Structure 1
């Protein structure tokens, strides 16, 4: 597997590695439900949980986050963690996601539970999360020039 590049463009999405190509549309275009339940392996090789949800930036037309379910039993008592989509690599050979962060760092993140989700449209929350994973916020428009940020959906004067 190649080393993950934390400075890659924020709009480039998740990387794909491995030679696993099966029948159907994947791995470049896949249904979100295909990825639900995929295991996530940390940078130090530990199985840290499974993908439980994929969160879309509906207005921006992008994948914002994958939600990792860690611990618990049959979905009870598990801790959820939002992971920036750009912090993940889809490993088609192993049929899992890899995240470029140590398992203990994921465990140290307090996360949230299924009944108390954060406001994922809040740019302050999103910026802190992306910094934790050493990524630029997905809504940053790095192609338009230094210091120029694309307006994030929901950040306009109307609040829409």
Structure 2
């Protein structure tokens, strides 16, 4: 069992996922990767338990950011899976073990609010999104860049 020991402080990836390890492949990655490359990657809890896999990466199309990773837990061959929206900033890509590590214990993840493939929440709803981010002790992704966007807008008026 591998215990998560981040080499980069959580605050360093306030807007995005942290990256640890020395694993560098040919071509793109690990800093810039195709979202489809990450689908199916296993996810480990902070206490070293395999808790599921990434089934989707959700984009904030208007904001140009990654909104959430969708974690699929349980089930068999896609049947009976529970899905969980995970703030992107709560994940660390471990290039050595080729997985994501979620900054939460296995029990916390198992008790997280979830949904099924036929009943997705309205992910653009900021009240729902705020609750998800609070559950994982992360600031909402849309607030992390608000200052930079507002600052850029003011500068463009000059």
Fold match (TM-score > 0.5): yes
- 5, 14, 18: which one aligns with 1:15: 18
Residue matched to 1:153: none
Residue matched to 1:91: 94
* Unaligned ranges ≥5, structure 2: 151-158
Q: How far apart are residue 24 of structure 1 and its match?
A: 0.8
Separation in structure 2 between the aligned mates of residue 7 and residue 103 of structure 1, nearest angstrom: 22
Residue matched to 1:55: 58
Please say if residues 10 and 18 of structure 2, whose CA atoms lie closer than 8 Å, have aligned partners that are also in contact: no
Q: State the secondary structure of the residue aligned to 1:140.
A: helix
* Unaligned ranges ≥5, structure 1: 151-160
- Matched residue count: 146
- Which one has the bigger helix percentage? 2
Q: State the secondary structure of the residue aligned to 2:118.
A: coil
Gap change, CA 1:3 and 1:92, over 3 Å in 2? closer
Gap change, CA 1:26 and 1:47, over 3 Å in 2? same
TM-score normalised to structure 1 length: 0.85
Residue matched to 1:154: none
Gap change, CA 1:116 and 1:87, over 3 Å in 2? same
TM-score normalised to structure 2 length: 0.86
Gap change, CA 1:57 and 1:114, over 3 Å in 2? same
Please say if residues 4 and 100 of structure 1, whose CA atoms lie closer than 8 Å, have aligned partners that are also in contact: no
Please say if residues 9 and 142 of structure 1, whose CA atoms lie closer than 8 Å, have aligned partners that are also in contact: no
Q: How far apart are residue 109 of structure 1 and its match?
A: 1.4
Residue matched to 1:101: 104
Residue matched to 2:36: 33
For the aligned residue pairs, the C-alpha RMSD in angstroms reads 1.9
Residue matched to 2:124: 121
Residue matched to 1:74: 77
Q: How far apart are residue 53 of structure 1 and its match?
A: 0.1
Separation in structure 1 between the aligned mates of residue 146 and residue 112 of structure 2, nearest angstrom: 31
Q: State the secondary structure of the residue aligned to 1:130.
A: helix
Over residues 88-118 of structure 1, what are the superposed CA-to-partner deviations in whole Å (9 max), with x where a residue is unaligned?
0000010000011001111111300000001
Higher relative contact order (CA 8 A, sep 6+): 1
